[in-house]
Amino acid sequence: MAKREQLTRRAVLGSLGALPFLSWARAADTPPPSLLYQREAAPLTAAGQVPNVMGFEPLARRALPPAHYAYLATGVDDDHTVVRNQEAFGHYQIRARRFADRRHLDLTREVFGARWPMPLYLSCVSSMGAFHPEGELAVARAAHSRGVQMMLASGSSVAVRPVLDACGGPLWMQLYPTDDWAVTEELVRRYTDAGVSAIVLTLDNLGRRRNNETLFSAMARDSRPCASCHVNNSHDMWRRGPIFTGIDTSRVTQLEPDEQTLQFFDRLRAQVKVRLIAKGIVTGEDAALAVQHGADAVIVSNHGGRDEETLRASIDCLPEVVAAVRGRVPVFVDGGFRRGTDVFKALALGASAIGVGRPHAWGLSAFGQDGVEAVIDIYARELDAIMRQAGTVNTGEIGAASVLRA
């Protein structure tokens, strides 16, 4: 009998959200039982009916115009790094332990002196008004209702102050400094005056030369005029975004300067009076330099695979960054987290907390605030379940002995 091509669970769920011209399948000999006994599901009409985080992706795809969905889905070149971010979690096995008192599991985590209800935060996603009319405000209200940290994007559809009011607590503000220092200074001043608790410098968006083929292909297939969403048909956030309103951006040509050196970081560190977090760190060398030059935390991130096709998954970069930081500052990580088991593995490898981006955007696209809350609840539920299996009754007990590299 000819060998048949089968799909892994992650690849199947990923392919549900893929555009028609993508194929994220990989071969395997035996399908999982979940495919063998799959039945036609009833239509999902409420966020609470979605069984897992990946279940929100096809719902978002159906709810969004092609270009808006592809903006979320796209990677670089062949999208391999996007896929690798998810598949790499399969390289790590969790060691189940049996003798433990599981009556009172504790998912909380102390971060920057505050007690978080779980080690998860909502990472920055730009232009969320393209996914739901309430955009970032709905995300902020969901963050508030679940007590989780939110990071607002420089490309937000809403200004900082309304989002800060809606989330009702500390807000992290992502920073694209642009290649005009005068704009950088004004953005930092605005964020600080608004009352954000941290500024997150994105170091990995070197977008002038990136090849987002999936997005470009979808834009060509989208029949809507871009001018209906983009003022003067501009896709440059510094020309249209509320965050930049009133700032002279006439000299800006890109979101990040080419001379993004340590001297630039030092200059920014002197300007930022709140916490400064370096996002986009994927090597031990850069992690050590960031801490040496005053970073209050680092985020291991490859921008969800949107800006580089290195084929290095974030979870695989985490151990060397943790080793280089040596406990001096928190180490966060994002990229490909779709299960509570993924969160568990990152904690075991030394992460302080985990950021999610696309998943809460899918939830927002499908059900608004309810969808974002449901996504958060699924992570909490699944993390609770795997902590019970691993015999770790609080997040502090999750450590190197909890996982094995397969």
Catalytic residues: 303
Interior CA angle at 309 toward 222 and 303, to 5°?
75
In this structure, are residues 354 and 120 in contact, taking their beta carbons and an 8 Å threshold?
yes
Nearest alpha carbon to residue 379 among 118, 166, 177, 179: 118
Distance, in Å, from the CA atom of 146 to the CA atom of 379, rounded to the nearest integer, reads 12
Which residues in 78-194 belong to E strands, given as ranges? 92-94, 109-111, 114-116, 120-122, 149-152, 171-175
In this structure, are residues 199 and 276 in contact, taking their beta carbons and an 8 Å threshold?
yes
Dihedral (C-alpha) 8, 77, 212, 260: value to the nearest 10 degrees?
110
Distance, in Å, from the CA atom of 7 to the CA atom of 166, rounded to the nearest integer, reads 42
* Helix spans in 224-334 (H): 237-240, 262-271, 284-292, 314-325
Distance, in Å, from the CA atom of 51 to the CA atom of 70, rounded to the nearest integer, reads 23
Dihedral (C-alpha) 283, 285, 291, 295: value to the nearest 10 degrees?
-50
DSSP string, 23-42: ------SS--HHHHT--PPP
Interior CA angle at 129 toward 128 and 133, to 5°?
130
The CA distances from residue 149 to 34, 168, 215, 221, 315, in Å, are 34, 10, 29, 36, 21
Sign of CA dihedral 334, 208, 126, 218: negative
